[in-house]
C-alpha cells in the first residue's frame, strides 16, 4: 500500500530515514499499549509465568523476571528469605512494559544464595511466587593449617577452613604424595572445615603437608609443616 501523504500545509519527507524511524517507534508504542490494555482486566494480580530458579557465577549480576497480570496495576514487593528487599547498591527493581517486574542482584556472592519472593497486590487481592538463587563459587582455602610440632607418640590435628559451590573435592598430601587413610591417619570434612588427624606420631610423620580443594570453577591449596620431637 502506498504511503499516505501528509495534510496540506505540513511538509514531511516520508523518504527521510529519521521520519521512518520515528514512525516505527510510534507504531511499537501503540502495539505495546494494545497488549497492555488486553492484559489489564479488572481483577486480582496473577503471575502469567512462574518465576524461574537461576544459578550464577560469583561476581556476576542475577536477574529474576516476573510477568504480572491484573488491574488496577498491582503494587509489587520483593523479599529474600522472608525479609523485604530495599533498592540500593545491591538490588534494583525494574518495571518494563507491558507486564515485567524484575529484580536485579548486582555483584553476586555466596550470601546472595536463598529464596526470592515477588508479592503483588491490588484492591482485588494478592499473588506471590518464589524462585531460588544459587551462586557458584570457586573452591578456596579460607584459612590454612598452621605449622605444628608434637612429641613422639602423641596425637596431632591439622585444620583448614574451606569454601566453594559446588561443594569442592578435598584431599590431603604429605611431601607431594596423597595420603592413604587408615585407622591412624585420616581426615574428616564437615561443611566448611576439613581436619587431618595423625595418631601416635612418629619421626616418619614429620614433613610438609598440603590440603587442597577443587571444583568446576577453581583449585586452591595450602601448606603446613609438622615437626616430631
The last residue of one of the domains, among 114, 136, 158, is 136
CATH number at 127 reads 2.60.40.10
Count of structural domains within the chain: 2
Residue-number span of the structural domain to which 194 is assigned: 144-228
The sign of the CA dihedral 142, 189, 166, 109 is negative
The last residue of one of the domains, among 94, 111, 136, is 136
pLDDT value at residue 60: 94
How far is it, in rounded angstroms, from Cα 131 to Cα 117? Answer: 7
Residue 5 lies in a domain: no
Distances (CA, A) of 20 to 7, 34, 58, 148: 17, 21, 44, 77
Q: Are residues 155 and 219 in the same domain?
A: yes
pTM: 0.65
Question: Is 50 exceeded by the pLDDT of residue 82?
Answer: yes
pLDDT value at residue 33: 45
Closest by Cα among 120, 93, 119 to 106 = 93
CB 120 within 8 A of CB 126: yes
How far is it, in rounded angstroms, from Cα 97 to Cα 225? Answer: 62
pLDDT value at residue 21: 64
The last residue of one of the domains, among 136, 164, 193, is 136
Q: Are residues 131 and 162 in the same domain?
A: no
Average pLDDT, the chain: 87
Strand-strand pairing, 148-150 and 218-228: parallel
Task: Name which residue leads in pLDDT, 71 or 132.
Answer: 132
How far is it, in rounded angstroms, from Cα 120 to Cα 93? Answer: 13
Region 143-160 average pLDDT: 96
Tens-place pLDDT, residues 22-39: 555 555 444 444 444 444
Tens-place pLDDT, residues 52-80: 999 999 999 999 999 999 888 899 999 99
CB 130 within 8 A of CB 120: no
Tens-place pLDDT, residues 155-180: 999 999 999 999 999 999 999 999 99
Tens-place pLDDT, residues 180-229: 999 999 999 998 999 999 999 999 999 999 999 999 999 999 999 999 98
Amino acid at each position: 500500500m502506498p504511503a499516505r501523504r501528509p495534510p496540506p500545509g505540513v511538509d514531511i519527507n516520508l523518504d527521510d530515514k529519521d521520519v521512518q524511524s520515528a514512525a516505527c517507534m510510534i507504531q511499537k508504542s501503540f502495539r505495546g499499549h494494545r497488549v497492555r490494555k488486553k492484559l489489564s482486566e479488572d481483577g486480582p494480580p496473577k503471575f502469567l509465568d512462574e518465576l524461574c530458579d537461576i544459578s550464577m557465577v560469583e561476581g556476576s549480576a542475577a536477574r529474576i523476571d516476573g510477568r504480572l497480570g491484573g488491574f488496577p496495576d498491582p503494587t509489587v514487593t520483593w523479599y529474600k528469605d522472608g525479609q523485604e528487599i530495599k533498592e540500593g547498591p545491591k538490588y534494583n527493581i525494574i518495571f518494563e512494559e507491558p507486564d515485567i517486574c524484575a529484580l536485579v542482584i548486582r555483584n553476586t556472592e555466596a550470601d546472595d544464595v536463598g529464596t526470592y519472593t515477588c508479592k503483588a497486590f491490588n484492591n482485588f487481592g494478592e499473588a506471590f511466587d518464589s524462585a531460588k538463587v544459587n551462586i557458584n563459587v570457586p573452591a578456596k582455602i579460607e584459612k590454612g593449617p598452621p605449622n605444628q610440632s608434637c612429641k613422639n607418640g602423641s596425637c596431632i590435628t591439622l585444620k583448614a577452613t574451606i569454601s566453594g559451590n559446588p561443594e569442592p573435592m578435598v584431599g590431603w598430601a604429605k611431601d607431594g604424595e596423597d595420603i592413604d587413610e587408615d585407622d591412624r591417619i585420616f581426615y574428616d570434612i564437615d561443611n566448611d572445615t576439613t581436619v587431618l588427624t595423625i595418631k601416635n606420631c612418629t619421626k616418619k610423620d614429620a614433613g610438609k603437608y598440603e590440603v587442597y580443594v577443587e571444583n568446576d570453577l577453581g583449585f586452591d591449596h595450602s601448606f603446613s609443616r609438622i615437626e616430631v620431637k
